[in-house]
Amino acid sequence: MVTVDEFIPEAEAEIQDEVGDGHAIIALSGGVDSSVAATLAHRAIGGQLTPVYVDTGLMRKGETEQIRETFSFMENLRVVEAQDRFLDALSGVTDPEEKREIIGAQFIREFETVANEVDADYLVQGTIYPDRIESDGEIKSHHNVGGLPDVVDFEGIVEPVRDLYKDEVREVARDLGLESIIAERMPFPGPGLAVRIIGEVTEEKVRVARESTFIVEEELEEYEPWQALAAVIGKATGVKGDNRVHGWIVAVRSVESRDGMTARAQELDWETLQRIQSRITGTLDNVSRVVYDVTHKPPATIEYE
Ligand code: XMP
């Protein structure tokens, strides 16, 4: 890459050039790539950009509030409150791939609605170099918003960070003052907490996955895992007070990895594990058991679905 100082004005000029006096739209995920693309586009074309953040209800704790705060300088920011629609669409669905498809399709519907409303001509995307380069040249199938260009008839697609590697995007983010986004912890999957819930996604299970993931990320920060998470994997008998209860089993997972392709389960000390257990069972009275996953990838995957 050219230096960051050169890159930013060049990227802005390119965006202005491509969009002209049209209107552009971008899906913000909360990740660093789309955040940088959106900020560059906003600097370049200001009110001609509509950034869209879809709250699927499957986000991490505090994520939506953080987006609102970080991007409050963007006058057209749209936060789409779609939690109920995602939950409805997922009702009764237990197959992992079907869940992913439903989430992807619902996301596109939500985004399309806004794109039509604001009459968007251009789609800005935070695609980075590694997203474009798979061994066979295909775009990664689980790229978060991979289906977008196909559904809305855009005049053009603008990808201001398409030639950058992740560390370069982070450098640009820092220069743009997006520290809170970079500091924003560990990778988080596009389908969100749904892949941390085995079987049907319900409001109750989402709450367990969200609170538990929050506790796990917080408690394990000092171990600097590549990714740490909690998943709702089933039900088990327990005792709470004087009663036997049939509560949720929460699996805790913390892995070291370079790129997510392979991973090693992290060795944690007993006190940390116990603290996580007691915080989770103390916060969530419908959780009866917490287990720690010691499986590497392979044979396990990082997420549960
Ligand atoms: P797995 O579970 O396949 O995860 O070992 C590897 C990495 O990819 C993330 N992941 C996803 N990211 N959409 C995404 O954007 C998905 O459907 C998805 N599934 C897994 C996972 O969090 C881990 O970082």
pLDDT at 144: 47
C-alpha of residue 158 to centroid of ligand 1, in Å: 25
pLDDT in tens, 98-146: 999 999 999 999 999 999 999 999 999 999 998 887 534 444 444 444 5
Asked if 293 and 273 count as a contact pair (C-beta separation under 8 A), the reply is no
Distance CA 158, CA 27 (A): 12
* Nearest CA-CA partner of 205 in 178, 174, 232, 230: 232
What is the position in ligand 1's atom list of the atom closest to the CA of 229? Answer: 22
* Nearest CA-CA partner of 213 in 304, 84, 86, 97: 304
| CB atoms closer than 10 angstroms to residue 277 | 18
pLDDT at 148: 66
* Nearest CA-CA partner of 35 in 192, 174, 173, 188: 173
What is the position in ligand 1's atom list of the atom closest to the CA of 189? Answer: 12
Ligand 1, atom 10: nearest CA belongs to which residue?
Answer: 189
C-alpha of residue 234 to centroid of ligand 1, in Å: 21
Asked if 148 and 24 count as a contact pair (C-beta separation under 8 A), the reply is no
CA-to-CA separations, 200 to 92, 156, 305, in angstroms, rounded: 6, 38, 12
Ligand 1 and 297: CB distance under 6 A = yes
Cα end-to-end span (Å), the chain: 36
The model scores a pTM over 0.85 = yes
Helices (H), 94-193: 96-117, 129-132, 148-151, 166-175, 179-182
C-alpha of residue 304 to centroid of ligand 1, in Å: 10
pLDDT at 214: 97
For residue 298, cis peptide bond before it (omega within 30 degrees of 0): yes
Q: Which H or E run contains 210? A: helix 203-220
Ligand 1 and 262: CB distance under 6 A = no
pLDDT at 140: 42
pLDDT at 139: 41
Ranges of the chain with pLDDT below 50: 135-145
